[in-house]
Amino acid sequence: MSEKLELDQVGNTPMHRVGSIKLNGNTVFAKCEFMNPTGSHKDRTFLYMVNKLESEGKIRPGMTLVDCSTGNGGAALAWVGKKKGYDVKIFMPEGMTDERKAQIYEYGAELFETEKSLFLNGSVQAAHDFVRGKDPREIYFLDQGSNLLNKAAWLECGNEIVRYLESQDIIPDYFVCSIGTGGTFSGISEVLKSRFPNISTVGIEVDKSAPLYAKKNNLEFTHAPHNMMGLGAGALSSNTNELVVDDVVTVNGERSWNRMKQFIVEEKLGIGPTCGANLLVCEELCRMLQDKIVITLFFDSSWKYKSRWSGIYPEYFGG
Ligand SMILES: Cc1ncc(COP(=O)(O)O)c(C=O)c1O
């Protein structure tokens, strides 16, 4: 497959008007990132990072690329790497969904599962250990957690949202989006805030692991196991630009899973649990507002969770 075709397949996702949130004349639009080729928003992150690192001369086909992920990023890098001729190694906490692991294998990458007690921090440590002492001309750790190319990848998505809104003569009032590394939230928020200075942003963290919420509220940060994979990694990433987070709220995992399932029945779009979190917060906001425009994002696809459809990850809840 040519590089041109790869680029064409990633991004330019549709905006979905959320028909099931009809409160006080408010309107919610969701950017459908789950429609990217591997089923998640991380295709954008990794295609951008790999292209940029190539153009900077830091990597070239034939090298080994390494990163850590609970699954979406791993599948995206495995896919981009396969298309472009890289060997890919993914470090992932044990107990993630079978579908995510299968995707990584199918795209020809090698998967290293790390011990559950340290969750994603253990995967990051293992990836550092893996590359240490190896020839940097042969192996490169992309490190989506702390590499700011992650956030930069999301500026173009922000531009797409602006172009859509302008084409419809819409001025948005709120941007609501969950934060994992915060690359998605921050890149888009930077663009929306520069184009629409009056927009307010609401970041979302999972209640069991909410470092930004703790920081903003002068609370001690603690990480506990949860079922919102992609959020709550156990540390605040440098890809979260705190200057563009006007408010941060927390969500409950079980309620987010239920909201996702309700949405799938109502609107027949197969989205994942962190999209349920975004919908929950949009809905809470719309209860308090009148005639406002709220923008949110659908990260990934429901099929990635079929093997954990109960919302229970036994490895993380002692089941
Ligand atoms: C399902 C899901 N939702 C949300 C996120 C958060 O995205 P970001 O890391 O850009 O904050 C991730 C990140 O891995 C994810 O996999």
The tens digit of pLDDT for each residue in 267-313 reads 999 999 999 999 999 999 999 999 999 999 999 999 999 999 999 99
pTM, rounded to two decimals: 0.97
Nearest CA to ligand 1 atom 13: 230
Residue positions counted in the chain: 319
Q: Is 183 found in the same domain as 50?
A: no
Most ligand 1 atoms within 8 A of CB, residue of 299, 301, 308 to mutate: 299
Residue 145 Cβ contacting ligand 1 at under 6 Å: no
Strands, E assignment, 59-208: 64-68, 87-93, 110-114, 139-141, 174-178, 200-206
Q: Which residues partner with 229 through β-bridges?
A: 231
CB 172 within 8 A of CB 293: yes
Q: How many domains does the chain have?
A: 2
In a domain, 67, yes or no: yes
Handedness of CA 13, 17, 18, 23 (dihedral sign): positive
Separation between Cα atoms, residue 48 and residue 223, nearest integer Å: 30
Rounded distance between C-alpha atoms, residue 192 and residue 318, angstroms: 42
* Same domain flag for 174 and 54: no
Would you state the pLDDT for residue 221? Answer: 98
**Structure confidence at residue 4 as a pLDDT band (50, 70, 90):** very low
Distance of CA 132 to the CA centre of its chain: 27
Q: Report the distance separating Cα 300 and Cα 40, nearest Å.
A: 4
Given 92, 119, 144, which residue is the final one in a domain? Answer: 144
Query: Residue 2 pLDDT > 70, yes or no?
Result: no
pLDDT band at 8 (very low <50, low <70, confident <90, very high): confident
C-alpha 299 to ligand 1 mean position (Å): 7
Q: Which atom of ligand 1 is nearest to the CA of 180?
A: 11
For residue 81, the SS3 value is helix
Instruction: Out of 96, 178, 241, 242, give the residue to mutate to test ligand 1, the one with the largest number of ligand atoms within 8 Å of its CB.
Output: 178
199 and 112 both lie in a single domain:
no
* C-beta of 203 in contact with ligand 1 (< 6 A): no
CA distances from 86 to 66, 68, 227 (A): 10, 16, 32
Determine if ligand 1 sits within 6 Å of the CB of residue 158: no
- Residues 85, 127, single domain; the answer is yes
Q: Is 48 in the pocket of ligand 1 (CB under 6 A)?
A: no
For residue 272 and ligand 1, the question of a CB distance below 6 A is answered with yes
pLDDT at 319 over 50: no
Where does the pLDDT of residue 7 fall: very low under 50, low under 70, confident under 90, or very high at 90 and above?
A: low
| 186 occurs within a structural domain | yes
CATH number of the domain encompassing residue 49 = 3.40.50.1100
Maximum distance among all alpha carbons in the chain?
59
Cα(82) to ligand 1 centroid in Å equals 22
Pocket of ligand 1 contains residue 182 by CB under 6 Å: yes
Task: State which ligand 1 atom lies nearest to the alpha carbon of 273.
Answer: 1
Task: Encode pLDDT of 226-275 as tens digits.
Answer: 999 999 999 999 999 999 999 999 999 999 999 999 999 999 999 999 99
| Residue 149 within a domain | no
Assess whether 135 and 163 both reside in one domain.
no
At 105, is the pLDDT very low, low, confident or very high (cuts 50, 70, 90)? very high
| Residue 276 and residue 226 share a domain | yes
For atom 5 of ligand 1, the residue with the nearest CA is 230
Q: Identify the CA nearest to 283 among candidates 20, 72, 54.
A: 20
201 and 303 co-located in one domain: yes
Range of the domain at 209: 3-35+154-317
